[in-house]
Amino acid sequence: GDYIIVINAEKVKLTGNKMDEKVYDHYTGYPGGRKEEIAKDLQKRRPEVLVERAVKGMLPKNRLGRQMYKKLFVYAGDQHPHIAQQPKELKF
């Protein structure tokens, strides 16, 4: 498949109260190291993670899904370093 470049991840909006109620968690690897963060705080700190996690959850949970995920590039602003590849803009 093709490579996908997503820009302006900082402008993502969630419906309903998800910005205040949706919880993202990760495990640091240490005992008692489970960290939780609500979507609003995660968007302020790393807005591209919201889009990456949403897309990763929609992909197949196998080798093909991991290969597809590697072709996704998400950037918070409208600038990206892939100008040399002449990406085509899709509007929807």
Domain for residue 89, yes or no?
no
| pLDDT score for 1 | 82
* pTM check: above 0.95: no
For residue range 21-58, what is the model confidence (pLDDT) as tens digits?
A: 999 999 999 999 999 999 999 999 999 999 999 999 99
How many structural domains compose the chain? 1
Element (H, E) at 41: helix 39-45
CATH of the domain at 39: 3.90.1180.10
With cut-offs at 50, 70 and 90, classify the pLDDT of residue 13.
very high
Taking CA atoms, 5 is separated from 13, 25, 43, 67, 85, in Å, by 18, 25, 18, 15, 11
Residue 92 has pLDDT above 90, yes or no: no
Domain that holds residue 51: 4-83
Domain for residue 48, yes or no?
yes
